[in-house]
Amino acid sequence: MNRAALRVSLLFPLLLLPSLGRAGSDQEHGGEETPHSPGKGHSHWSYEDLKHWSTDYLDCGGTKQSPINVDTAQAIFSPDLRPIQISGYSLPASEQLKLKNNGHTVVLELPDSLALTGGYAQQYRAAQLHLHWGSPSGPGSEHTINGHRFAAEIHVVHYNTKYDSFTEAMVHPDGLAVLGAFLEVGHGENQYYHEILKHLFEIQEVGQETSVPGFNIAGLLPANLKFYFHYNGSLTTPPCYQTVKWTIFNQTMLLSHHQMSVLVSTLRSPDDEILQNNYRPVQNLHGRRVLASFQATPPVKHTPGSGAPATAEGHSSSFHAGDVLAVLFGVLFAVTALAFLLYIYKHRSQNARLDSPTKSKVIYTAASTENTA
Ligand SMILES: *[C@@H]1O[C@H](CO)[C@@H](O)[C@H](O)[C@H]1NC(C)=O
Ligand SMILES: *[C@@H]1O[C@H](CO)[C@@H](O)[C@H](O)[C@H]1NC(C)=O
Ligand SMILES: [Zn+2]
């Protein structure tokens, strides 16, 4: 009996492992990527001059560049990607934030009391946020989803708390985490974006800055921080450091048509034109994996939900995980049962042979060897 008992006692603990898998797997996080270096508004690059970026800034020609197109059919569903958690994003109106036209975008500097506290394996502090947009005649998000470009995109830039500053963090592979979300035109006015857009006319010229009273910065991001794509990439502007772990949310933000017009037609660029189409084209994946925190490819028997497709996918994804576990448990039980039956069968045939007087000596030796092994 020793062997069978041993096998059973070894296999049953194994049955518990699949449920432990979720808790222990946060290794996926810890990547790279970042957008603009705050405070450096004097760089000479431009979006008309993309071809020369990699001459002046070597990393811009690298193999982990951003932005990318996210092909949702290729994204790898990773249940261990936990919801993004932010803290300290609700700022009192008494706290003044600097808003600046740096010639490439509008940048809102953020106090480092804002933090990323969940969804990533490490802790990050906020540095700044900024936007990318198109023109009155075309969209201008940086990332695309299945080839679709959205009207605009917000980037909230964070740096790893193990470094003393954004500038120090941005050169390290695990230095930066950027949250990205798409902006689309919808019905009502967005009150959170209004807090920024109403100040744009004060910073029309390159280098101008103004003060913005604190508000709930979280309102600039989607309400749902559970469903997102994740990949390792870079700053999307020179110096293009490949130090950014990107999160691209599946839920989009809505601005009124008028708000979107203000965004794409108020600021001026260094060549004294309207600052438009400040997005970099999508970059080659070079074999990089894109993870999804939700089941991005609908299962066959998926019920379409027009209002919140992401939520519907999320529910069906948990059923799928359940199916996989059920099969796994079934297989382990089958293996255990089979091992036990084999033991019984073997044991019985050995006993039968022991009954034979001519071979008893040899058989007895073999059996005792087996039992003490
Ligand atoms: C990102 O890079 C880190 C460090 O090399 C790696 O452990 C992680 O698996 C990568 N993430 C993805 C999604 O490829
Ligand atoms: C959200 O995910 C769904 C399902 O994969 C996809 O069809 C849709 O394009 C995604 N949208 C964004 C903004 O990621
Ligand atoms: Zn950016």
Question: Would you state the pLDDT for residue 296?
Answer: 84
Concerning whether 29 is annotated as a catalytic residue, the answer is no
> Active site residue: 29, 104, 143, 230, which one?
104
pLDDT tens-digit map of 239-280: 999 999 999 999 999 999 999 999 999 999 999 999 999 999
CA of 228 to the centre of ligand 1 (A): 16
Give the mean pLDDT of the chain.
81
Ligand 1 probe mutation, 28, 33, 74, 77, most atoms within 8 A of CB: 28
31 in ligand 1 pocket by Cβ < 6 Å? yes
Give pTM, 2 decimals.
Answer: 0.73
Question: Would you state the pLDDT for residue 228?
Answer: 98
**Range with lowest mean pLDDT among 226-235, 236-245, 304-313, 341-350:** 304-313
Could you give the CA distance from residue 253 to residue 129 in angstroms, rounded to a whole number?
15
Q: What are phi and psi of 245, to 5 degrees?
A: -95, 110
For atom 13 of ligand 2, which residue has the closest CA?
250
pLDDT tens-digit map of 83-95: 999 999 999 999 9
- Where does the pLDDT of residue 13 fall: very low under 50, low under 70, confident under 90, or very high at 90 and above? very low
Q: Span 54-66, mean pLDDT?
A: 97
Domains of the chain (ranges; CATH) run 2-17+322-372 (no CATH), 31-297 (3.10.200.10)
The percent of residues above 90 in pLDDT, for the chain, comes to: 67
Question: Would you state the pLDDT for residue 19?
Answer: 33
- Where does the pLDDT of residue 33 fall: very low under 50, low under 70, confident under 90, or very high at 90 and above? very low
pLDDT tops 60 at residue 306: no
74 in ligand 2 pocket by Cβ < 6 Å? no
Shortest-distance atom of ligand 1 to CA 290: 13
pLDDT tops 90 at residue 293: yes
Question: Would you state the pLDDT for residue 29?
Answer: 30
183 in ligand 2 pocket by Cβ < 6 Å? no
Reduce the secondary structure of the chain to three states and give it as a string.
CHHHHHHHHHHHHHHHHHHHCCCCCCCCCCCECCCCCCCCCCCCCCHHHHHHHHHHCHHHHCCCCCCCEECCCCCEECCCCCCCEEECCECCCCCEEEEEECCCCEEEECCCCCEEEECCCCCEEEEEEEEEECECCECCCCCEECCEECCEEEEEEEEECCCCCHHHHCCCCCCEEEEEEEEEECCCCCHHHHHHHCCHHHHCCCCCEEEEECCEHHHHCCCCCCCEEEEEECCCCCCCCCCEEEEEECCCEEECHHHHHHHHHCCECCCCCECCCCCCCCCCCCCCCCEECCCCCCCCCCCCCCCCHHHHHHHHHHHHHHHHHHHHHHHHHHHHHHHHHHHHHHHHHHHHHHCCCCCHHHHHHHHHHHHHC
Q: Span 310-329, mean pLDDT?
A: 44
- Where does the pLDDT of residue 44 fall: very low under 50, low under 70, confident under 90, or very high at 90 and above? confident
CA of 176 to the centre of ligand 3 (A): 12
pLDDT tops 70 at residue 214: yes
- Where does the pLDDT of residue 111 fall: very low under 50, low under 70, confident under 90, or very high at 90 and above? very high
pLDDT tops 80 at residue 82: yes
For atom 10 of ligand 2, which residue has the closest CA?
250
pLDDT tops 50 at residue 41: no
42 in ligand 1 pocket by Cβ < 6 Å? no
Shortest-distance atom of ligand 2 to CA 182: 13
